[in-house]
Amino acid sequence: MTATDPALTALSQGWCALSLLHGKIEGHIERALQAKHDLSVREYSLLDVLSRQHDGEGGHLQMKQVADAVVLSQSATTRLVTRLEDRGLLLRYLCPTDRRGIYTNVSDAGLALLEEARPTNETALREALDAAAENPELAPLVRAVEALHVPA
Protein backbone atom coordinates (compact mmCIF):
# COMPACT_ATOMS: atom_id res chain seq x y z
CA MET A 1 0.00 0.00 0.00
CA THR A 2 1.33 3.46 -0.87
CA ALA A 3 0.36 6.90 0.38
CA THR A 4 -1.66 7.42 -2.83
CA ASP A 5 -3.57 4.13 -2.63
CA PRO A 6 -7.16 4.89 -3.76
CA ALA A 7 -8.54 2.84 -0.86
CA LEU A 8 -7.29 5.48 1.55
CA THR A 9 -9.13 8.72 2.19
CA ALA A 10 -7.34 11.94 1.30
CA LEU A 11 -6.70 12.60 4.98
CA SER A 12 -5.32 9.10 5.46
CA GLN A 13 -3.14 9.48 2.37
CA GLY A 14 -1.65 12.67 3.77
CA TRP A 15 -1.03 11.08 7.14
CA CYS A 16 0.55 8.03 5.51
CA ALA A 17 2.88 10.22 3.45
CA LEU A 18 3.82 12.35 6.47
CA SER A 19 4.52 9.23 8.55
CA LEU A 20 6.62 7.77 5.74
CA LEU A 21 8.62 10.99 5.39
CA HIS A 22 9.20 11.18 9.15
CA GLY A 23 10.35 7.57 9.28
CA LYS A 24 12.77 7.99 6.40
CA ILE A 25 14.27 11.18 7.87
CA GLU A 26 14.53 9.84 11.41
CA GLY A 27 16.06 6.56 10.25
CA HIS A 28 18.69 8.32 8.15
CA ILE A 29 19.62 10.74 10.94
CA GLU A 30 19.67 7.90 13.50
CA ARG A 31 22.15 5.88 11.46
CA ALA A 32 24.42 8.89 10.95
CA LEU A 33 24.39 9.98 14.61
CA GLN A 34 24.94 6.42 15.87
CA ALA A 35 27.81 5.76 13.46
CA LYS A 36 29.70 8.99 14.09
CA HIS A 37 28.78 10.00 17.65
CA ASP A 38 27.19 7.02 19.43
CA LEU A 39 24.01 9.09 19.86
CA SER A 40 20.41 8.26 19.08
CA VAL A 41 18.06 10.82 17.55
CA ARG A 42 16.26 11.11 20.92
CA GLU A 43 19.54 11.61 22.79
CA TYR A 44 20.61 14.29 20.33
CA SER A 45 17.20 15.98 20.61
CA LEU A 46 17.35 15.95 24.40
CA LEU A 47 20.84 17.47 24.45
CA ASP A 48 19.73 20.09 21.94
CA VAL A 49 16.59 21.05 23.88
CA LEU A 50 18.40 21.23 27.22
CA SER A 51 21.29 23.21 25.74
CA ARG A 52 18.86 26.02 24.90
CA GLN A 53 17.86 26.60 28.54
CA HIS A 54 19.01 29.73 30.32
CA ASP A 55 19.17 31.05 33.88
CA GLY A 56 16.69 33.88 33.28
CA GLU A 57 13.01 33.94 34.17
CA GLY A 58 11.38 30.74 32.89
CA GLY A 59 14.67 29.60 31.41
CA HIS A 60 14.72 26.12 32.90
CA LEU A 61 12.35 23.54 31.56
CA GLN A 62 10.25 21.23 33.69
CA MET A 63 10.46 17.54 32.81
CA LYS A 64 7.01 17.66 31.18
CA GLN A 65 8.18 20.48 28.90
CA VAL A 66 11.30 18.52 28.02
CA ALA A 67 9.22 15.40 27.33
CA ASP A 68 6.91 17.37 25.04
CA ALA A 69 9.88 18.86 23.21
CA VAL A 70 11.50 15.48 22.52
CA VAL A 71 8.14 13.75 21.89
CA LEU A 72 8.45 11.15 24.64
CA SER A 73 6.46 10.31 27.75
CA GLN A 74 7.69 11.80 31.01
CA SER A 75 8.85 8.39 32.24
CA ALA A 76 10.74 7.68 29.00
CA THR A 77 12.30 11.16 29.18
CA THR A 78 13.39 10.55 32.78
CA ARG A 79 15.02 7.26 31.74
CA LEU A 80 16.75 9.02 28.84
CA VAL A 81 18.00 11.78 31.17
CA THR A 82 19.36 9.13 33.54
CA ARG A 83 21.19 7.33 30.71
CA LEU A 84 22.80 10.55 29.51
CA GLU A 85 23.63 11.56 33.07
CA ASP A 86 25.33 8.17 33.56
CA ARG A 87 27.41 8.92 30.44
CA GLY A 88 28.45 12.27 31.93
CA LEU A 89 26.54 14.29 29.32
CA LEU A 90 23.92 15.76 31.69
CA LEU A 91 23.90 17.06 35.27
CA ARG A 92 20.96 17.29 37.66
CA TYR A 93 20.69 19.71 40.58
CA LEU A 94 18.07 21.09 42.94
CA CYS A 95 16.27 24.29 42.06
CA PRO A 96 17.74 27.02 44.29
CA THR A 97 14.33 28.63 44.95
CA ASP A 98 12.17 25.49 45.21
CA ARG A 99 13.90 22.50 46.77
CA ARG A 100 11.25 20.19 45.26
CA GLY A 101 12.32 21.08 41.72
CA ILE A 102 15.16 19.33 39.94
CA TYR A 103 16.86 20.90 36.95
CA THR A 104 18.84 19.13 34.28
CA ASN A 105 21.63 20.86 32.41
CA VAL A 106 23.99 19.72 29.69
CA SER A 107 27.51 19.12 31.00
CA ASP A 108 30.59 20.48 29.26
CA ALA A 109 31.13 17.01 27.75
CA GLY A 110 27.52 17.00 26.54
CA LEU A 111 27.88 20.44 24.98
CA ALA A 112 31.07 19.36 23.22
CA LEU A 113 29.39 16.21 21.87
CA LEU A 114 26.35 18.21 20.76
CA GLU A 115 28.51 20.71 18.87
CA GLU A 116 30.42 17.85 17.26
CA ALA A 117 27.16 16.07 16.29
CA ARG A 118 25.23 19.12 15.06
CA PRO A 119 26.81 19.16 11.55
CA THR A 120 26.16 15.41 11.23
CA ASN A 121 22.51 15.95 12.13
CA GLU A 122 22.15 18.81 9.65
CA THR A 123 23.88 16.92 6.83
CA ALA A 124 21.82 13.78 7.42
CA LEU A 125 18.62 15.84 7.49
CA ARG A 126 19.51 17.50 4.20
CA GLU A 127 20.39 14.14 2.62
CA ALA A 128 17.14 12.56 3.80
CA LEU A 129 15.06 15.48 2.51
CA ASP A 130 16.85 15.45 -0.84
CA ALA A 131 16.25 11.71 -1.22
CA ALA A 132 12.59 12.06 -0.20
CA ALA A 133 12.10 14.90 -2.69
CA GLU A 134 12.74 12.37 -5.47
CA ASN A 135 9.57 10.50 -4.44
CA PRO A 136 6.49 12.15 -6.01
CA GLU A 137 4.38 11.20 -2.98
CA LEU A 138 6.77 12.91 -0.58
CA ALA A 139 7.99 15.86 -2.64
CA PRO A 140 5.11 18.19 -1.61
CA LEU A 141 5.80 17.47 2.06
CA VAL A 142 9.52 18.09 1.59
CA ARG A 143 8.70 21.47 0.04
CA ALA A 144 6.42 22.24 2.98
CA VAL A 145 9.15 21.36 5.50
CA GLU A 146 11.69 23.46 3.60
CA ALA A 147 9.27 26.40 3.56
CA LEU A 148 8.87 26.40 7.36
CA HIS A 149 10.67 29.18 9.11
CA VAL A 150 9.99 28.57 12.79
CA PRO A 151 11.26 31.43 14.95
CA ALA A 152 14.01 30.37 17.34
pLDDT tens, residue by residue, 25-42: 999 999 999 999 999 999
What is residue 14's predicted lDDT score, i.e. its pLDDT?
A: 86
Across 102-106, 109-113, 121-125, least confident range: 102-106
Kind of pairing between the strands at 102-106 and 90-94: antiparallel
Q: How does residue 80 score in pLDDT terms, banded at 50, 70 and 90?
A: very high
Q: Is the pLDDT of residue 152 over 70?
A: no
Q: Give the C-alpha separation, 137 to 121, whole Å.
A: 24
Residue 7 has pLDDT above 70, yes or no: no
User: pTM (2 decimals)?
Assistant: 0.85
End-to-end Cα, the chain, rounded Å: 38
pLDDT band of 8, cuts 50, 70, 90: low
pLDDT exceeds 60 at position 115: yes
Amino acid in position 75: S
pLDDT digits (tens, 9 = 90+) for 34-72: 999 999 999 999 999 999 987 777 778 888 888 999 999
d(Cα 106, Cα 128) in Å, to the nearest integer? 28
Q: pLDDT class for 97, splitting at 50, 70, 90? A: confident
Higher pLDDT, 124 or 53: 124
Please give the Cα distance from 131 to 113 (Å, whole number): 27
Average pLDDT over residues 77-93: 94
